[in-house]
Amino acid sequence: METVKELFDATRTQFPELAEKTDNLHKQRYVDDELELNFLWFECLADVLNAEMTAHIPYENYANFFNFISDQLTESGREIYECIDVALVENLFFDVNAKHAKLYWDKLSKPIKELYLGFHGQPPL
């Protein structure tokens, strides 16, 4: 994959339930904004995941998604890497308490953790 559109389409195809939750949040926030080709959709996806963490939804429910994202960081082009970094990873764990964050943090791949630490400077614990 090389473009954010390809990442967007692949995410929607492979993770339809997560995409539906993200679409709903995105439409609430950005009524006039198009879903496609937009980093804001991936920011909303991070917020959906944060809400799931806060609601005690187990990491295992999203393990395949995080594995997919980790793979894209190492296999895809610069545009996708930047989208994952800026729109998704930088927004993960926002307003998630440390106890809930730890359940996800401990299981995330090294590439995702490195991006998070590169921006925030410390784990969300």
Structural domain spans, the chain: 4-120
Judge whether residue 32 has pLDDT over 70.
Answer: no
Judge whether residue 57 has pLDDT over 80.
Answer: yes
List all residues 6 or more positions away from 19 whose beta carbon is below 8 Å from its beta carbon. Answer: 11, 12
Quote the pTM value: 0.92
The mean pLDDT of the chain is 92
